[in-house]
Amino acid sequence: MQPHVDLALVGGGSTATSFLAQLIELLDNRVHSQPWRILVFEPSKRLGPGGPYAEDLSTNLLNIPAGKMSAYANDRGHFLRWVNSQSSTLLEQHGVVNTDPAAFLPRPLFGLYLTEVWTTLLQRAARVRIEIKHIPTDVRGISLAPENSDTLLDTPMGQYRARRTVLCNGNLPSTTFPELTSRPGYFNTPYPAIDLARNIPHNAKVAVLGTSLSAIDAIIALKENGHQTPLLAVSRNGRLPSVRTINSGLFPVNAPTLQEITSLADNQGGSLTLQSAFSFIQQRLVAAGGELDWEDVLGQGDHPHDILNKEITASTSKPRVWQNIAISLNEIIEHIWRLLPESEKQIFNSKWRSLWMARRATFPMKNALKIKHYIDANQLRIAAGFVDCQPCKDTGGYTITLNDAQGEVQTHQVQYVVNATSFSTNVSQTDVPLMRSLILQGLAVPDPYGGVRLDFDSGCLINAEDKIVSNISLMGSLAAGTYFWTTSLDVNSRLAYQQAKRIAETVPHLACVEST
């Protein structure tokens, strides 16, 4: 057994970075009565970027403007100030020409920023007697010590004991095509995108399964790196995400407040309905100078290519205030979700979730124009009606089956398949040892809306006996069932701040000092 520590952090990606940076900031002005010890378990050598912001092609763009990406919930301009303090050589290496707050910058650049946030937080921690040690391995299981006093973490490097554990372990790998996972020519994720560009021959026939943000990264990675054969990108509905308007600054919106949403619920006996939440959002839209243009909001059209053209036109010519409103909901989104009764959540899940996912996630004009260019040059076809993808015994490749708009069955033979159907949050289906261990012991239970059940106020696990496990909390995409939109850094950094504040209050200290 390794020595006893105060806090174990599982994962060293952006959520963990944001949590720890804010925790250290909260503890930075105190003299600690004894050293406080933290272990960070992260198999990667590099702390900070996690998956989405890892070293990769600069064509992987952030889907949130630079002015809103920050590790610090209370300092949204932190990343942008860092960008503006960097050398022009570094920015040029990442293809950055525009550093205004509305710019969509490369994700690997954001990864460099996160690495620097780590370096700074380590220095600050050392000053106030907080010891942080990186254990470069994954945690395979967590159990509770007798009396439930401490958490025990099992790793290939031995067992560790911590008073408290915070899980920031990110997404689960996609389980959409389990039978294809170990086959040649199949990529279960588009990341790192550079692997697609390096390993797929330029003249190979390739299908990208999915038409969401990850599919866009995969297509652009292949095409910008010389892929010559036309690509097929296919999903059930063929919907690309909405294109972010370039006119978003024209109609700034005030974010709704918790007080507003709580009093709306109070007026209805303490909860919201989908209808009341929708009316509230609609009022905000009108108050901000927008209008409810259903065709624009829903992105209707006959063919994915027409829809993209309409999106580009709308996002070039109109302010599309509904996009600003949707983004502003991030400030309180978990409370709207919490205030919906179970029956309303179920309706949302069955009728609206897939539409929300497709329309809420927007992508930058720069990438939309690239996609349009490939389509116009017959280098890309986006199709709806995906039925399945089967390995083809004769050719060693894959047969993609889809139903075209007329209901006719079409098949396509390809040599390579890129699964861009997004990651999983379904802990019941995963073979990730850590999540299986938590579920098998009953320390965690699956949440029907994604990830595991958590106590809303503390972020701690709720076990199979419906009790709060007060020394294990979780943040990031596996918290989606409780906080709903946990795939956005601004939401995660805000939740991480709240978590850091709760934990900071438990840290013994002698006095407060002036921070330098």
Ligand X SMILES: Cc1cc2nc3c(=O)[nH]c(=O)nc-3n(C[C@H](O)[C@H](O)[C@H](O)COP(=O)(O)OP(=O)(O)OC[C@H]3O[C@@H](n4cnc5c(N)ncnc54)[C@H](O)[C@@H]3O)c2cc1C
The reply on whether position 44 binds ligand X by CB under 6 A is yes
Instruction: Name the minimum Å distance from CB 373 to ligand X.
Output: 22
The reply on whether position 63 binds ligand X by CB under 6 A is yes
Instruction: Name the minimum Å distance from CB 476 to ligand X.
Output: 3
Q: Tell me, what DSSP letter sits at residue 381?
A: E
Q: Which stretch binds ligand X (CB under 6 A): 38-46, 143-151, 295-303, 312-320?
A: 38-46
| Measured distance CA(329)–CA(348) in Å, rounded | 16
Nearer to ligand X, 171 or 471 (CB): 171
Instruction: Name the minimum Å distance from CB 450 to ligand X.
Output: 12
| Measured distance CA(229)–CA(367) in Å, rounded | 19
Instruction: Name the minimum Å distance from CB 73 to ligand X.
Output: 12
The reply on whether position 58 binds ligand X by CB under 6 A is no
Binder of ligand X out of 5, 13, 223, 453 (CB under 6 A): 13
Q: Total residues at the site for ligand X (CB under 6 A)?
A: 33
The reply on whether position 437 binds ligand X by CB under 6 A is no
| Measured distance CA(23)–CA(493) in Å, rounded | 11
Instruction: Name the minimum Å distance from CB 14 to ligand X.
Output: 4
Longest Cα pair distance anywhere in the chain, in angstroms? 74
Q: Residue 422 — φ and ψ, nearest 5°? A: 85, 165
Instruction: Name the minimum Å distance from CB 228 to ligand X.
Output: 25
The reply on whether position 214 binds ligand X by CB under 6 A is yes
Q: CB-based contacts of 274: which residues, under 8 Å, 6+ apart?
A: 340, 344, 347, 348, 352
The reply on whether position 141 binds ligand X by CB under 6 A is no
Q: Tell me, what DSSP letter sits at residue 372?
A: H
Q: Which two tokens stand for residue 380?
A: 């890309």
Nearer to ligand X, 194 or 347 (CB): 194
Binder of ligand X out of 7, 11, 215, 261 (CB under 6 A): 11
The reply on whether position 425 binds ligand X by CB under 6 A is no
Q: Which stretch binds ligand X (CB under 6 A): 21-29, 244-252, 353-361, 483-491?
A: 483-491
Q: Which stretch binds ligand X (CB under 6 A): 168-176, 194-202, 310-318, 495-503?
A: 168-176
| Measured distance CA(475)–CA(454) in Å, rounded | 10
Binder of ligand X out of 22, 151, 165, 171 (CB under 6 A): 171
| Measured distance CA(182)–CA(492) in Å, rounded | 33
The reply on whether position 477 binds ligand X by CB under 6 A is yes
Q: Are 70 and 79 in contact (CB under 8 A)?
A: yes
The reply on whether position 447 binds ligand X by CB under 6 A is no
Nearer to ligand X, 193 or 321 (CB): 193
CA dihedral of 214, 215, 220, 226, whole degrees rounded to 10: 120
Q: Is 187 helix (H, G, I), strand (E, B) or coil?
A: strand
Nearest 5°: the CA angle 60, 193, 187 is 140
Instruction: Name the minimum Å distance from CB 422 to ligand X.
Output: 7
Binder of ligand X out of 476, 480, 497, 500 (CB under 6 A): 476
Q: Is 155 helix (H, G, I), strand (E, B) or coil?
A: strand
| Measured distance CA(480)–CA(488) in Å, rounded | 11
Q: Which stretch binds ligand X (CB under 6 A): 39-47, 260-268, 318-326, 344-352?
A: 39-47
Query: Is 336 exposed, middle or buried (CB count within 10 Å of its CB: 0-12, 13-18, 19+)?
Result: buried
Q: Which stretch binds ligand X (CB under 6 A): 165-173, 242-250, 260-268, 463-471?
A: 165-173
Q: CB-based contacts of 296: which residues, under 8 Å, 6+ apart?
A: 314, 318, 320, 322
**What is the per-residue binding string for ligand X in 100-119, x denoting contact by CB under 6 A?**
-------x------------
Query: Is 414 exposed, middle or buried (CB count within 10 Å of its CB: 0-12, 13-18, 19+)?
Result: buried
Binder of ligand X out of 5, 20, 38, 41 (CB under 6 A): 41
The reply on whether position 10 binds ligand X by CB under 6 A is yes
Q: Which two tokens stand for residue 348?
A: 């949302």
Query: Is 178 exposed, middle or buried (CB count within 10 Å of its CB: 0-12, 13-18, 19+)?
Result: exposed
Q: Tell me, what DSSP letter sits at residue 446?
A: B
Q: Is 447 helix (H, G, I), strand (E, B) or coil?
A: coil
Nearer to ligand X, 153 or 314 (CB): 153
Nearer to ligand X, 64 or 339 (CB): 64
Which residues make up the interface to ligand X (CB under 6 A)? 10-16, 41-44, 50-52, 62-64, 107, 138-139, 168-171, 214, 423, 434, 476-477, 487-489, 492
